[in-house]
Structure 1
Amino acid sequence: MPLVEHLRELRRRLAVAVVAILAVTIAAGFFYEAIVDLATQPVLDAVGCSGTFTEITRGEDETCARIVLNGLIAPFSLALKVSLAAGLVVASPVWLYQLWAFVVPGLHRHERRYTVLFVAVGTPLFLAGAFVAYRTLPTMARVMLDFSPAEVDNQLPLDELLDLIVRMVVVFGISFELPVVLVLLNLFGVVSGRRMLSWWRWMILAVTLFAAVATPSTDPLSMLVLAGPMWLMYAVATVVALLLDRRRSKAGTAGPSDDEAAPLDHAPEPVAAAGPVAAAGPVGTGGRG
């Protein structure tokens, strides 16, 4: 396909993705308060507060976080931010498909299978990580607010709370993609299963440090909630990589598929010793008849 046709296809697919995001964003703008309630209600329930983010009363617990908005245009900015985030999330199947459809014609057959594997396995893992973060936030909020002095209300800006929730969800979701990335690296021949097995001590340390930095709370429970599944998923990815290596070793040297070029062998071949050159016969001269 010529370059101009590629650019036209890219423009068409970007237009479809933008229209889908804008449509969902406009629809979410009418329900942004319900979206905010859905995100903040578990945190409020965990610290003994009742009501929604617009009307909070103190419960039995003396520590209560009052969520506030600062500034004249803060409500409008909040509604725009929440609606746009909802548009990106809800319309993600549309714009992700447009991105995949634009890239996939340039991939080989086995690379297309890998992308389908990444989407089929990576999407549930990301959603699982987001769900774990959503369920961990109330415990984290309770631990953090326990540091507040008695008879003191905690004024928490709503935009900061939403940024914290989004950051936790994204960090947990991306962290749960670890096994998919490792298996893909193994499929592309970057890392072997045996090497992944030899890294297990360093990976436990690296995952623990990452969980300690990624979780904003200081309690060990939140850190273990993120680190524990990552340890388990690394073990599963190592086992899968070992099985894939074993299957490839049994398959032997199979030829390339129809849409792949054969690998070039750059190793030099030995050259046989030169034999004696046969003596040339007499050269005849032509005469006139």
Structure 2
Amino acid sequence: MSFLEHLDELRRRLINSILIVVVAFVICWFASGAIYNFLSIPVREALAEAVRREVPIKGLTGDEATFPLTLLQPGDRGRYVFDRVTKLGSGVVQPGTSVAAVVAADSEGNIGIYTDEPLITGNAVIPKGVLLPADLSGKQIAEGADERLIVTTAPESFTLYVTVSLYSAIALSVPFLLWQIWAFISPALYRHERTYVTPFIFLSTVSFVLGAAFAYYILLPPALGYLLGLAEDFRPMLRASDYLDFVTIVLLAMGFIFQMPAVTYVLSRIGLVSASFLIKSWKVSLVVILIVAAFVSPTGDIPNMMLFAAPMMVLYLFSICIAWIFGRKRESSPSAG
């Protein structure tokens, strides 16, 4: 291919990639609210842990203790305290308001907590038997005013969901984008080397998902807990857009870091990387891993940095095994295209 033909091929692949991302963006837009709620769970849990301080209960007998709402049974009674501004019908209830409540089942058999007496607000009367906003399943986060992220401008909510949809579209398009990249570079490879595209895309996609999941479930909770723990003398008021940028960087960074085995597989099959080369370069690789971990880690403490560095070290060892199993010397093919 001539230089102009390479440029034309690059233009075609870029257009295809943009179209793929646009289609994925439209799909993700309709689920942007659910995606954002999923991404915000770690920070809301960390905020709840940072804001709520456990105070030991001391009672008459010494056996007094709190228990979760999941243990409530139909017929149990008590007083329900609103922990945030709540709108029930046309009535607005302020935080700190309490009302007699009872656990009961409605006509469809759903168990919930209902008002056991009329509640008079500033502009309406909330009658007896109204369902209160309490989760008895234990699956949702009990989110109060201090556990919610904030927006500071009117269009910020719209911009936030657009950003969520865009990032999600990029993540969803990874296999197709990898295919476009491979299609662009494949003319420079021998025909037998082009057969590596399917295992590469499969391994790369799985690695990206594993990396993002590792960051979400393993790295984010301790990192957020550490950061918010430093702000215990302050009232945390986190901007939703700032948190989204933060969590996206962490998820995407670990997703791409986990590409190490997939890239090693292709390079070793082509013959550009060998297991002996990776073993000889372990000192330099260790320094690079620590630098990348320090850059990607959202905190400056060594324990959290090691949470990022440890999986990279394991991936490097795994890459050595892959290069040892699949490595070969690069040879020309008579059927090269």
Same structural fold, with TM-score higher than 0.5 when normalized by the shorter chain: yes
Q: Which residue of 1 aligns with 2:144?
A: 57
Q: Which residue of 2 aligns with 1:37?
A: 37
Mapped partners of 2:326, 2:31: distance in 1:
47
Q: Which residue of 2 aligns with 1:209?
A: 291
CA apart distance, 1:121: 1.7
Return the letter of the residue paired with 2:23: A
The answer to whether residue 294 in structure 2 is matched with residue 218 in structure 1 is: no
Q: Structure 2 residue aligned with 1:117, among 199, 208, 211?
A: 199
Structure with higher Rg: it is: 1
CA apart distance, 1:142: 0.8
SS at match of 1:227: helix
Q: Which residue of 1 aligns with 2:314?
A: 232
SS at match of 1:118: helix
Aligned ranges 1:191-270 → 2 under 5 Å: 191-244=273-326, 256-260=332-336
CA apart distance, 1:159: 0.9
CA apart distance, 1:156: 1.1
Q: Which residue of 2 aligns with 1:77?
A: 159
How many residues align structurally? 246
Mapped partners of 1:46, 1:178: distance in 2:
31
Using a 3 Å threshold, how does the CA distance of structure 1 residues 80 and 94 change in structure 2: closer, same or farther? same
Mapped partners of 2:174, 2:274: distance in 1:
33
CA apart distance, 1:4: 9.2
Q: Which residue of 2 aligns with 1:108?
A: 190
- Higher helix fraction: Structure 1 or Structure 2? 1
Aligned ranges 1:98-177 → 2 under 5 Å: 98-101=180-183, 104=186, 107-135=189-217, 136-150=219-233, 152-177=234-259
Return the letter of the residue paired with 2:225: R
Question: Over aligned residues, Cα RMSD in angstroms?
Answer: 3.5
Using a 3 Å threshold, how does the CA distance of structure 1 residues 170 and 244 change in structure 2: closer, same or farther? same
Mapped partners of 2:147, 2:12: distance in 1:
47
CA apart distance, 1:94: 4.1
Deviates more, 1:173-182 or 1:3-12: 3-12
- The answer (yes or no) to whether the contact 2:189–2:336 under 8 Å persists in 1 is no
SS at match of 2:157: helix
CA apart distance, 1:100: 4.1
Q: TM-score, normalised by structure 2?
A: 0.61
**Which structure 1 residue ranges, 5 or more long, are not aligned?**
59-63, 249-253, 262-289
Using a 3 Å threshold, how does the CA distance of structure 1 residues 183 and 89 change in structure 2: closer, same or farther? closer
Aligned ranges 1:15-34 → 2 under 5 Å: 17-34=17-34
Mapped partners of 1:30, 1:204: distance in 2:
43
Mapped partners of 1:156, 1:113: distance in 2:
48
Using a 3 Å threshold, how does the CA distance of structure 1 residues 165 and 186 change in structure 2: closer, same or farther? same
SS at match of 2:231: coil
Using a 3 Å threshold, how does the CA distance of structure 1 residues 89 and 109 change in structure 2: closer, same or farther? same
Deviates more, 1:160-169 or 1:226-235: 226-235
- The answer (yes or no) to whether the contact 2:190–2:333 under 8 Å persists in 1 is no
Mapped partners of 2:13, 2:274: distance in 1:
37
Mapped partners of 1:2, 1:190: distance in 2:
25
SS at match of 2:237: strand
